[in-house]
Structure 1
């Protein structure tokens, strides 16, 4: 703004005579106006950019890397010692449950990975049950026991291995391990697989060795297996395999009777 002492006196009936002396500091040239306009425009552009740069300083990683703002994947902790409780994902009845809970049929199988008749049942119905599970026709709950511990510690050790894998890797990997345990089932007279063998089978099933080895070696879910076995006997399970179809105990006298009942083909 022009200072008050430089305001020219009023001129009657007209405009003041323009000052043509060109004295420094008097008047504003067209060139000056143009330069001022350009500088103002540059400031309008630069200032917001500068503010944005300040606000985003230190956040370069999240601005350029979409993964940096994603929620981290939380994995369950590695179990490396005795656990007072069930493995994650186990049913309240000590089982590994597969299939749609709303399926029209349900099958429960009590089994021991050392029991030869349990192995025979698996070989007879395993693939067909898997197909029925995938089709949504049946829900199957496998309840592993240490029923034959009197013969070998492998009985509870293999059930514990299944529990460890279920806890660490989930039901799909546990189901694969279950099938492998029967495929590689030892004789009741031995020799019996050791913890390294069980870890190897777990890894073959898809488990991460670092996540399952500690629990397999330390018998992390030994108390859960013992409780499952005791509960089954208290519920009247006196021999294995024992099978319930739609909540009713299968009373067949032969393996063929049990297979027919499990598959729903009995007359």
Structure 2
């Protein structure tokens, strides 16, 4: 009677095969965990870089007021003004549409500044410029689009567009709105699409944005937001929320 015992795997062979398979699975798991750990470390480093970068920009915005030599509110060729010329208090705000601290400050002050300007208590001069161009093209695109909207649709629509840009502000890490998205926001603000579409898509406001950026640099502005009250840099507070609250209290 013939048998297959010579060709069949022994119990020892089976144990060794199972052990080898288990070892291979364990090694694969270790490699997967190692890759996951590396990705986690990278993610933490990137997050810290963004935080540190943001803190640097916030620190830079707290410039020595002796270095700020801005022209008076309402006197710049590169701004958007709300409130009367004879208002007793004057506020100038240098901002970048991508700057998260500008977004925080704008959200904390928009309604109050609008009401105070309407009551004749303050004149506010918003001065957008391009600071964060090292991150990507969005700052330039948004500032150029703002210039196009202001020129083609007027200050009231430009102010609404300005507010919408901050309401829809992207993260510094993206993804970023494109020109078509900004055309849609301009139309939502009240601009005629036919009046602003080509200008926004072709960066026709770039010369204005470049000039505004040079003017901010010439004024001594090194960070955003930089806020001036009656010609002096306003730094009362340790956060954007505190600075915003203290500013509104002083001019109310």
TM-score, normalised on structure 2?
Answer: 0.67
- The alignment yields a C-alpha RMSD, in angstroms, of 1.6
Structure that is richer in helix per residue: 2
- Note the 1:146-161 alignment, pairs <5 A: 146-161=130-145
Tell me, yes or no, if the aligned pair for 1:245 and 1:261 is still in contact at 8 Å: no
Taking the aligned partners of 2:242 and 2:92, their CA distance within structure 1 comes to: 15
Q: Could you report, residue by residue, the CA deviation over 1:119-168 in whole angstroms, capped at 9, with x for unpaired residues?
A: 00011111111111111111111001111111111101101111111101
Residue 141 of structure 1 is matched in structure 2 by 125
Q: Whose RCO is larger (CA < 8 A, sep 6+)? A: 2
Q: Structure 1 runs of 4+ off > 4 angstroms?
A: none
Distance of aligned partners of 1:91 and 1:175 in 2 relative to their CA distance in 1, 3 Å threshold: farther
| Unpaired runs of at least 5, structure 1 | 1-89
Q: Look at both structures and tell me which one has the larger radius of gyration over its CA atoms.
A: 1
CA distance in 2, matches of 1:257, 1:93: 30
1:260 aligned to 2:248?
no
Question: Superposed, which structure 2 residues align to 1:165-204 within 5 Å?
Answer: 165-204=149-188
**Of the candidates 117, 125, 132, which is equivalent to residue 109 of structure 2?**
125
Q: From 240, 246, 256, give the equivalent of 2:224.
A: 240
Matched, 1:220 2:204: yes
Is the 1:173–1:205 contact (alpha carbons within 8 Å) kept by the matching residues of 2? yes
1:256 Cα deviation from its structure 2 partner: 3.5
Q: What is the TM-score with the length of structure 1 in the denominator?
A: 0.63
Structure 2: runs of 5 or more not aligned: 1-73
Q: 1:203 to 1:131 in 2, by over 3 A?
A: same
For 1:261 and 1:245, locate their aligned partners in 2 and report how far apart those are by CA, in whole Å.
11
Q: How far has the Cα of 1:91 moved from its partner?
A: 5.4
Name the count of aligned residue pairs.
177
